[in-house]
Amino acid sequence: MKKILLIVLSIIILGCKNDKKEDGKAEILNIVTTTSMITDLVKNIGGDMVNVQGLMGAGVDPHLYKASEGDVSKLFNADVIFYNGLHLEGKLVEVFEKMEGKKETVALGEFLPKDQLIGSEYFASNYDPHVWFNIEFFKKFAIEVTRVLSEKDPKNASQYAANEKAYLIKLDVLQAEVKNTIAKLPEEKRILVTAHDAFNYFGKAYGFNVVGLQGLSTATEAGVQDVQKLSNFIIDNKVKAIFIESSVPRRTIEALQAAVLSKNHEVTIGGSLYSDALGDAGSIEGTYLGMFRYNVSVIVNALK
């Protein structure tokens, strides 16, 4: 990590990239994003007026992600860097801090109203960073991305605004669909047990009791006592299914299932949910809208 920081500082000292082509015409904006959710969002707002490079692909855990030298090069050549913030990208925070004042870094989570965030005495930021599972918060992300892009590239501001309007309509449709789908699941069955606490905002929005085997960050592993405690909870509440996550090793949930089965209670693995990353690029689940619909369908069908 120290080596990477030295590279960052050295590159910054050398100066900033020229934003003009040799013929005097402005280049399209170079944008670097961290999580795949933010990458998808910026592509929707920026369209073909921006070049977006996401650091984290499908199945990548942002809590544990470390910047490579290639990442540092992308960050240096960016006009704007969008990231989640709220300490989600814990191991990248120091890199971003070194770039402040030299590069435009935008922590989207920092623009959310703090009184609406879920706090935690156990997490470094004191807030749950998995804010994209509240669609209203993701709308605020879209508005902020539009503002930044418009300020950076005012000649295309009207097109950014049009793209934002179209995307916000899609998010409104998603909200209505999710609400209707979840309404089919009785309230007493809305208990969501996953590998780590990534779904608290989802639970708050749709009336789920969300329980994660690990805490808000995957940096700490679940212990034997955690597994036993949660297995008892599953039995006491007659939970039908538990869920693995695409960005967390499945062994954590398999260990939980084994603990439940050892106590003569059956619980199935209801499927794999996308939590800290979208699905494969080019797939339906590789978009924020597709990921959300997929997750809701898997959860409702498994818990019915």
Give the CA-trace dihedral at 172, 175, 177, 180, to 10 degrees. -130
d(CA 240, CA 114): 35
Summarised one tens digit per residue, pLDDT across range 207-265 is 999 998 875 444 455 568 888 999 999 999 999 999 999 888 888 899 999 999 999 99
The yes-or-no verdict on residue 86 having pLDDT over 80 is: yes
Question: How many whole angstroms separate alpha carbon 226 and alpha carbon 223?
Answer: 5
Percent of the chain clearing pLDDT 70 (strictly above): 87
Instruction: Identify which of 94, 103, 8, 90 has the alpha carbon closest to the alpha carbon of residue 56.
Output: 90
Q: What local confidence, expressed as pLDDT, does residue 218 receive?
A: 46
Task: With a cut of 50, say whether residue 186 has pLDDT above it.
Answer: yes
**264: Cβ–Cβ under 8 A, 6 or more apart, which residues?**
none
Q: Is the pLDDT at 33 greater than 70, yes or no?
A: yes
Q: Are residues 118 and 228 in the same domain?
A: no
What's the rounded Cα separation, in Å, for the pair 77 and 240? Answer: 49
Amino acid at 237: N
Q: How far apart are CA 292 and CA 295, in angstroms?
A: 5
Domain of residue 230, CATH code: 3.40.50.1980
Task: Place 125 in a pLDDT band, splitting at 50, 70 and 90.
Answer: low
pTM equals 0.88
Do 60 and 13 fall within a single domain? yes
For the chain, what is the mean pLDDT?
Answer: 88
Higher pLDDT, 295 or 17: 295
Segment 103-120 mean pLDDT: 93
* Mean pLDDT for the stretch of residues 92-100: 84
Among the candidates 153, 176, 199, a domain finishes at 176
Residues 261 and 229 in one domain: yes
**Is there a single domain that holds both residue 25 and residue 138?**
yes
* Helices and strands (DSSP H and E) totals, the chain: 10, 8
Q: Please determine, for residue 15, whether its predicted confidence score (pLDDT) is greater than 50.
A: no
- Report the chain's terminal Cα–Cα distance, integer Å: 46
Report helix angle 36-46 to 135-152, nearest 10: 50
Asked if residue 23 has pLDDT above 50, the reply is no
Percent of the chain with pLDDT over 90: 73
pLDDT band of residue 121 (cuts 50, 70, 90) is: low
Q: Please indicate, yes or no, whether residues 137 and 242 belong to a single structural domain of this protein.
A: no
* Strand, helix or coil for residue 241: strand
Distances (CA, A) of 238 to 188, 206, 207: 10, 20, 18
* Residue showing tokens 């499927």: 271
Whether 80 and 62 map to the same domain: the answer is yes
Q: How many domains is the chain built from? A: 2
What is the predicted pLDDT for the residue at 226?
83
Domain boundary among 176, 207, 225: 176
Does residue 90 share a domain with residue 215? no
pLDDT attached to residue 20: 42
Residues 15, 160 within the same domain: yes
82 strand-pairing partners:
33, 106
Question: Could you tell me if 172 and 250 lie in one domain?
Answer: no
Assess whether 12 and 123 both reside in one domain.
yes
Q: Which of 3-12, 59-68, 100-109, 140-149 has the highest mean pLDDT?
A: 140-149
In the 8-state DSSP scheme, what is residue 25?
A: P
The Cβ of residue 177 has, within 10 Å, a number of other Cβ atoms equal to 14
- Count Cβ atoms within 10 A of the Cβ of residue 287 and give its class: 0-12 exposed, 13-18 middle, 19 or more buried: buried
Cα separation, 69 vs 66, in Å, equals 10
- Distance (Å, rounded) from C-alpha 41 to C-alpha 106? 14
- Report the SS3 class of residue 46: helix
Residue located via tokens 């209670």: 265
What average pLDDT does this structure show over 25-44?
A: 92
Note the pLDDT of residue 124: 55
**Range of the structural domain that residue 143 is part of:** 2-176
Please state whether 119 falls in left (phi above 0), alpha (psi between -120 and 50) or beta: beta
**Is 44 found in the same domain as 107?**
yes
176, 194, 211: which is the final residue of a domain?
176
Is the domain of 291 the same as that of 165? no
